[in-house]
Structure 1
Amino acid sequence: MPGAATTAAVVDSRRSAQRAEGPATIIAIGTANPANIVPQDDFADYYFGLTKSEHLTELKDKMKRICKKSGIEKRYIHLDEEIIRAHPEIIDKHQPSLEARVEIAAAEVPKLAESAARKAIAKWGHPATDITHLIFSTYSGCRAPSTDIQLASLLGLRPSVSRTILSLHGCSGGGRALQLAKELAENNRGARVLVALSELTLVCFSTPDESKIVGHGLFGDGAGAIIVGAGPFSDGECPLFEMVAASQTMIPGTEHALGMQATSTGIDFHLSVQVPMLIKDNIQQSLLESFQSVGYTDPDWNNLFWAVHPGGRAILDNIEGKLQLQPWKLAASRQVLREFGNMSGATIAFVLDELCHRREKDEDESQQHEWGVMLAFGPGITIETIVMRNPLARGLKQN
């Protein structure tokens, strides 16, 4: 049938024309935080005062020790006394509070994402209506229509924008969203993907408990927005990081170590003290497999730039020790941890942004290194890995 053959040829030709030129690339980054800042030295007083738990002196002393060793100087937290006065059920574990938390998050999570997204769009230099795809990752929403539709409306995106919502990926949400953005950008010529990451600890906030006190001592609120596209690039677009290859690995038998569960009193978050060691024991093999997939068979870890999700100081220390990294290799991650704490899936946007700032100021070696890696860790335990390339280091012309 000549007609069928002709149709197949047309389809194949169009499929080829739909693919982009070269790898997906990060072309703009924006970040945002709530206005409320809590110094880490004061957090134990703030937390135990907010929850009316001053009588739990042993737990408060333990939190003070956790905060002191955390490598964090301050965090941004939306929850304050005004919200507690309006919703006292949030600090009463015997009363349901999920509905109140979801109601607050439904309004505030997209607003925070909007602030970050507007910064990214301004850096990009193109109208919001040029965004073709939106990926929104959050653990802070439990309803539909969800935050993706709200953000699209707030930004004035086109009604035809292709939306994807990722829920409860936790700290690996940023890495998962970027891998999806990579696939979309490379397989849809001209696509510009907005990755929005926004988190409020409000949904997981609870009164002091031995099993949750570590998490309360580490997590903060924030939002990141990353615009991803592939060539050809238009005038004014500035490639920041090429995403060459992406992979996801689950450490078998670790489902118990890190996870979240919706309950009547909010989202119950559990974090095992085993997490840093589990990541340490598995990180090198995961990295080797990712780099071997692109023909980089014997990587020197110190000849890379590093964008690592700072889940906590112990995670960064264990990765640095296991891979024998020079002390400054994880400087961007440590700086973000120090200034913001762990903002779950949004944190990786802050790390990438910090790398860009350091590159501009020539404060680290990311300017010299062509190859790099992004790492994020989440429930599972899941390791998200993206092999990256620095377009400036490889001498690519910026358009």
Structure 2
Amino acid sequence: MASGGAVGERSSSPHRRLPDFLQSVNLKYVKLGYHYLITHLLTLLLLPLIAVVLLEAIQTDPDDVRQLWLHLQYNLVSVVSLSALLVFATTVYLLTRPRSVYLVDYSCYVPPPELKAPFSEFMAHSKVCGFDDSALEFQRKILERSGLGEETYVPEAMHAIPPQPSMVNARAEAEQVMFGALDNLFSSAGVNPKDIGILVVNCSLFNPTPSLSAMIINKYKLRGNIKSYNLGGMGCSAGVISVDLARELLQVHRATYAVVVSTENITQNWYFGNRKAMLIPNCLFRVGGAAVLLSNRASDKRRAKYELVHTVRTHRGADDRAFRCVFQEQDDTGKTGVSLSKDLMAIAGEALKINITTLGPLVLPISEQLLFFATLVLKKAFKLKIKPYIPDFKLAFEHFCIHAGGRAVIDELESNLQLEPIHVEASRMTLHRFGNTSSSSIWYELAYIEAKGRIRKGHRIWQIAFGSGFKCNSAVWKSLRNVKASVHNPWKDCIDRYPVVTVDRVLAGTN
């Protein structure tokens, strides 16, 4: 009530708000001027020095310059030695420098329409699965406030009555998602599968024998000396881990392609018990997957969409509380599911803080780093009671792909990083249209931004994801051109309808 009264009082006296507005405008331009000054400080300091050197060069006697040239011309030993040193240094640099990694293209899987799961159908199926009334009511409330829309997808086995969570159906779901994404990728990128030298597949909860990576090799008849990796149990941030692993391998193996496939499998991991902490994944996780084509060939830079700039991985597994906050286990009745701790958001916040502390110096302008350092010194050294300075990451990135793990995750990052609604639009709309597709969600988000035509040459994109363990991982990309939506963009049939006002935002506004 107090806050409502304060708002009413301010609105009844508009002239009293004018000084505050002018002060905020002044501070805004002061901060912009500060950033400009610090960013161009080196240039501003060098200009007078360059002017002095040029002035001295103009005033130098031409005979002195001629004598220096003659000295070098006849001193062959010095010239040859210097040339050899330059050639050696250049060779060492070319052989040891990190190879650029380019994202040539990627594809996100869109399931067939018959796999859509509207809320009414979801609840009708839940009623016949043996959930008690309390569990059903809990799922209904979660769905209402989840941020998911009516067009997300669940696997075919979950549409059956009763559900059929068999190994055969789980394998069928994996093949449908992975092969669907890869077919589109190879088609749009124009790459022969035989040219793939590295394959990295990640799926947390479904790890059959032969592995998922072996299934792909068998399907596309990939070559026998391919470097194949299958990552399991690494949670929703495994997509960034897979990209980081592929990047490391591309530093070793010359002139080759790497394919990263990120997905999750729901068929055998649906929870049929009544423990509320284990029911949440049923309401959030949906079918999805992505395939990404990476290259270290210099010739691919001309056609690639992005260049990988940084990857930063943070692991909190040494802390017991963080280790158990997302935990696969059995309930009291022996039913298996994934339990989410009440401390999840607090633990995610701690992991995020560590991750951006590492990432910040790599991407933030020096002006922001100085402000952060100054605040830290005042707080630690002088014991001043001031709030920690939160760097403005909007100065480092034009676009943000925040893992669509749930409404709370997006809300938390929007608040903590002081982002604008447009910066989290891709995350919210991906959650609404496709649900939580685990490690592939950051690619649906990037596809959304492309479909909106917002990516220009030189733009920087921050992909950030959280996962069990507990982990927070980041990938930073730089656009190599104005990126248009691909032929197989997952938003091509619905982008005109977005953004939409989600039900959870409406409910939040009425509370």
* 2:101 alignment partner, SS class: strand
Contact (CA 8 Å) 1:110, 1:198: kept in 2 or not? no
* Higher deviation after alignment, 112-121 or 156-165: 156-165
Residues 17 and 121 of structure 1: is their aligned pair in 2 closer, same or farther, counting only changes over 3 Å?
farther
| C-alpha spacing 1:260/1:25, structure 2 compared with 1 (3 Å) | farther
Equivalent positions of 1:257-296 (< 5 A) are 257-261=325-329, 268-293=337-362
Are residue 184 (structure 1) and residue 249 (structure 2) matched? Answer: yes
Change in CA separation of 1:345 and 1:15 when aligned onto 2, cut-off 3 Å: farther
- Give the aligned residue type for 1:341: G
Query: Match for residue 380 of structure 1?
Result: 469
Between stretches 189-198 and 289-298, larger displacement belongs to 289-298
2:108 maps to 1:25: no
Q: Tell me the residue number matched to 2:404.
A: 310
- Alignment correspondent of 1:57: 133
The superposition leaves residues 178-214 of structure 1 with CA deviations (integer Å, 9 ceiling, x where unpaired) of 1111112233221211111222211211214222121
Superposed counterparts of 1:39-188, under 5 Å? 39-42=117-120, 44-53=122-131, 56-73=132-149, 74-80=151-157, 83=160, 85=162, 87=164, 90=165, 100=166, 102-188=167-253
Question: Deviations for 1:127-151, whole angstroms, at most 9, x for unmatched residues?
Answer: 1211111111112433332111111
Contact 2:157/2:163 (<8 A) preserved: no
Structure 1 spans left out of the alignment, 5+ residues: 1-12, 91-99, 395-399
Note the alpha carbon deviations across 1:27-58, whole angstroms, 9 max, x for none: 111111433434443254244134143xx223
2:418 maps to what in 1? 324
What residue ranges of structure 2 are gaps of 5+ in the alignment? 1-89, 369-390, 484-511
Which string of whole-angstrom CA distances, capped at 9 and with x for unpartnered residues, describes residues 370-396 of structure 1?
3331111111210111122222379xx
* TM-score, reference length from structure 2: 0.64
**SS of corresponding position for 1:217:** helix
Task: Please say which of residues 113-122 and 37-46 is displaced more in the overlay.
Answer: 37-46
Q: Distance in 1 between matches of 2:253 and 2:136?
A: 53
Give the drift of 1:107. Answer: 3.5
Aligned length: 362
Using the alignment, how far apart are the partners of 1:107 and 1:265 within structure 2?
Answer: 26
Name the counterpart of 1:367.
456
Tell me the amino acid that sits aligned with residue 122 of structure 1.
S
CA deviation after TM superposition for structure 1 residue 259, in Å:
2.6
- Match for 1:49: what amino acid? K
Relative distance call for 1:368 and 1:333 in structure 2 (3 A) is farther
Residues of 2 paired with 1:286 and 1:184: CA distance?
Answer: 23
Alpha-carbon separation, structure 2, partners of 1:44 and 1:60: 10
CA distance in 1, matches of 2:351, 2:286: 27
Bigger Cα Rg = 2
Give how far 1:295 is off. Answer: 7.3
Q: Structure 1 CA distance, aligned partners of 2:133 and 2:284? A: 20
Contact 2:402-2:442 within 8 A present in 1 as well: yes
Q: Comparing both structures, which one devotes a greater share of its residues to strand?
A: 1
Deviations 1:136-169 (A, max 9, x none): 1112433332111111121232222211000111
Q: TM-score, normalization: structure 1? A: 0.81
Q: Where is the helix percentage greater, Structure 1 or Structure 2?
A: 2
Question: Does the CA contact (< 8 Å) of 1:203 and 1:267 recur in 2?
Answer: no
Q: Name the residue aligned to 1:338.
A: 432
2:19 corresponds to which residue? none
Equivalents in 2 of 1:39, 1:260: separation in Å? 24
Provide the rounded CA distance (Å) in 1 between the counterparts of 2:119 and 2:161.
22
Task: Pick one of 420, 435, 446 that aligns with 1:352.
Answer: 446
Instruction: Indicate if the aligned counterparts of 1:190 and 1:231 stay in contact, CA closer than 8 A.
Output: yes
- Given the superposition, is the C-alpha separation of residues 127 and 388 from structure 1 closer, same or farther in structure 2, using an over 3 Å criterion? same
Q: Is the 8 A contact 1:290 1:387 kept in 2?
A: no
AA in 2 matched with 1:211: A
Question: Cα gap change, 1:167/1:194 in structure 2, threshold over 3 Å: closer, same or farther?
Answer: same
Where does residue 301 of structure 1 map in the other structure? 393
Structure 1 residues 187 and 354: alpha-carbon distance in aligned structure 2, compared to 1, 3 A threshold: farther
What's the RMSD between the two structures over aligned residues? 3.0
Task: For residues 73-114 of structure 1, give each alpha carbon's deviation from its aligned partner in whole angstroms, at most 9, with x where no partner exists.
Answer: 032111446755584xx5xxxxxxxxx3x3432343133201
CA contact (8 A) 2:125 2:161 kept: no
Please name the residue that 2:324 is paired with: 256
- Distance in 2 (alpha carbons) for counterparts of 1:173 and 1:228: 16
User: Equivalent residues in 2 for 1:183-202 (5 A)?
Assistant: 183-202=248-267
Asked which structure has the greater RCO (Cα within 8 Å, sep 6+), the reply is 1
- For 2:23, the equivalent position in structure 1 comes to none
**Deviation, structure 1 residue 262:** 8.6
Contact 1:136 1:147 in 2 (8 A): yes
Change in CA separation of 1:355 and 1:191 when aligned onto 2, cut-off 3 Å:
farther
Q: Are the counterparts in 1 of residues 201 and 262 from structure 2 also a CA contact under 8 Å?
A: yes
- Between the aligned partners of 1:186 and 1:262, the Cα distance in structure 2 is 42
Question: Secondary structure in 1 aligned to 2:213?
Answer: helix
